[in-house]
Amino acid sequence: MLLENQHPDNKSLMAAIVGAPNVGKSSLVNYLLGMDLSIVTSKPQTTRNKFHAVFTVDHTEVVLVDTPGLHKASQELNKRINQQAVEGVDGVDVNLLLIDLTKDILGQIKDFKEYIGGKELSKTWLVFTKSDRVENAEALPLDKVFEQAKEVIPSIERFFCISTKAGDNVHLLTAALCDEAKPGSHYYLDGAISNKSQRFFATEYIREQAFELLKDELPYEMAVVIDEYKDFKDKTGAFAAHISASILVNRPSQRAIVVGSKGTMIKEIGMRARKKIAAMTDGTVHLNLHVKVSPKWFKNNFVLEELGLPRATNSARVWKKR
Ligand SMILES: Nc1nc2c(ncn2[C@@H]2O[C@H](COP(=O)(O)OP(=O)(O)O)[C@@H](O)[C@H]2O)c(=O)[nH]1
Ligand SMILES: [Mg+2]
């Protein structure tokens, strides 16, 4: 719902950030916001829930919809994660379809088309990412690729070639997004940065640290739930929070790994996550972390709902295996 009584110069735009896992969607969201809001790791399928991330330039508000990467999914958890991504394009003004320049470009475009099914797409801009990883990115025949891409997805209108790591060309994308904004009310109050709560981001930051510190398949069999979240003003009037959270794992052997020898691993995850939550809240944070064995949590509707992942509705059409 839009806000009322707005400044007459206000403009707004909603843009979905979509694409395959690990192409740099959350990195772009963070770059545009100017802060590490969305979690970024070197592993695919880090982002599991779609959410809004908001930035404003003068009177122009841009609402970005960060989404999980679309991927082949046969497990219930992955179907629900994909559903989050597919829903991300609903009702937006622009889709930014991110394409990793270091991988098969046309393959990513065709995959996106397949995952999205018959869905009507708003105007779509291709954003080629990680240009810093390609030698002489300016010399790439991106005009030609762009023409081929339009044959696959007719709503594609223009393209950008960026690197969030090197900061290359992101300003062109920012300017284009602001130019595209239409006069009208903002969706969010001044200063708001997301539709998700600090409590949500607290679980994300715990999971982010665990993802980075733990190897192999373990991160995919792990989730974080909050057991208790109390925030208050301390004696000096500053923000403080007491958080108890559990890392859910599938098997007892995984619990032992997450706890680590003499509890060193869980301590490290907790220390890093606490720092990041404290930075987000600009306050003092006490974080109590536990590891719980919750066999097959990723098939449990109750747990998945609690993780903000409701059942996928159109699974038959979109999730067929290729
Ligand atoms: N070299 C390089 N790496 C990038 C760039 N953007 C993202 N990455 C890396 O790619 C990985 C996945 O990024 P992430 O933003 O989580 O991708 P997402 O899964 O699409 O959200 C991380 O290791 C990032 O550091 C970039 O412009 N250049
Ligand atoms: Mg992401």
Taking the C-alpha atoms of residue 225 and residue 246, their distance in angstroms, rounded to an integer, is 5
Question: What number does the ligand 1 atom closest to the CA of 98 have?
Answer: 20
Distance of CA 43 from the midpoint of ligand 2 (Å)? 10
With a 6 Å cutoff on the Cβ, whether 130 touches ligand 1 is yes
pLDDT tens sequence across 163-213: 999 999 999 999 999 999 999 999 999 999 999 999 999 999 999 999 999
Q: pLDDT above 90 covers what percent of the chain?
A: 89
Written as one string, the DSSP assignment of 18-41 is EESTTSSHHHHHHHHHTS--S---
Predicted local distance difference test score (pLDDT) of residue 145: 96
Q: Which residues of 117-127 are buried (b: 16+ CB within 10 A; e: fewer)?
A: eeeebeebbbb
Task: Label residue 277 by pLDDT band (50, 70, 90).
Answer: very high
- Whether residue 316 has pLDDT greater than 60: no
The pLDDT > 70 percentage for the chain reads 96
The residue extents of the domains of the chain are: 11-183, 198-306
Amino acid occupying residue 128:
F
- Ligand 1 atom nearest to CA at 46: 19
pLDDT at position 321 = 46
Indicate the average pLDDT of the chain: 94
Nearest ligand to the CA atom of 49? 2
CATH of domain 198-306: 3.30.300.20
Q: pLDDT digit string (tens) for 281-303?
A: 999 999 999 999 999 999 999 99
At CA 291, angle to CA 83 and CA 244, rounded to 5? 85
For β-strands 156-161 and 182-183, DSSP reports them as: unpaired
pLDDT at 6: 81
As a whole number, mean pLDDT of residues 43-48 equals: 92
Q: Which long-range contacts (CB under 8 A, 24 or more apart) does 199-203 make?
A: 199/226, 199/229, 200/49, 200/51, 200/308, 201/37, 201/277, 201/280, 202/226, 202/229, 202/241, 202/243, 202/245, 202/273, 202/277, 202/280, 203/245
CA of 194 to the centre of ligand 1 (A): 21
Q: Is pLDDT above 90 for 318?
A: no
Q: Is the minimum distance from the CB of 103 to ligand 1 under 6 angstroms?
A: no
**What is the best residue among 25, 27, 49, 101 to mutate for testing ligand 1's pocket, by most ligand atoms within 8 Å of CB?**
27
Contact (Cβ atoms closer than 8 angstroms) between residue 131 and residue 94: no
Pairing of strands 222-233, 284-293: unpaired
Distance CA 204, CA 322 (A): 31
Closest ligand relative to 47 C-alpha: 2
What pLDDT digit, counting tens, does each position of 68-110 carry? 999 999 999 999 999 999 999 999 999 999 999 999 999 999 9
- Report whether residue 133 contacts ligand 1, using a CB cutoff of 6 Å: yes
Task: List residues bridging with 240 in a β-sheet.
Answer: 232, 284
Domain 11-183 has CATH 3.40.50.300: yes
| CA-to-CA dists, residue 170 to 167, 174, 200, 247, angstroms | 6, 6, 28, 36
Helix, strand, coil shares of the chain as percentages rounded to 5? Answer: 40, 25, 35
Decide if 11-183 and 198-306 have a common fold. no
Q: Is the dihedral of CA 35, 96, 309, 48 positive or negative?
A: negative
C-alpha–C-alpha distance, residues 302 and 223, integer Å: 13
Counting from 1 in the atom list of ligand 1, the atom nearest the Cα of 133 is: 1
Mutation pick for ligand 1 pocket among 17, 22, 67, 131 (CB with most ligand atoms within 8 Å): 22
Exposed, middle or buried: residue 216 (CB in 10 Å: 0-12, 13-18, 19+)? exposed
Tell me which ligand sits closest to the C-alpha of residue 212.
1
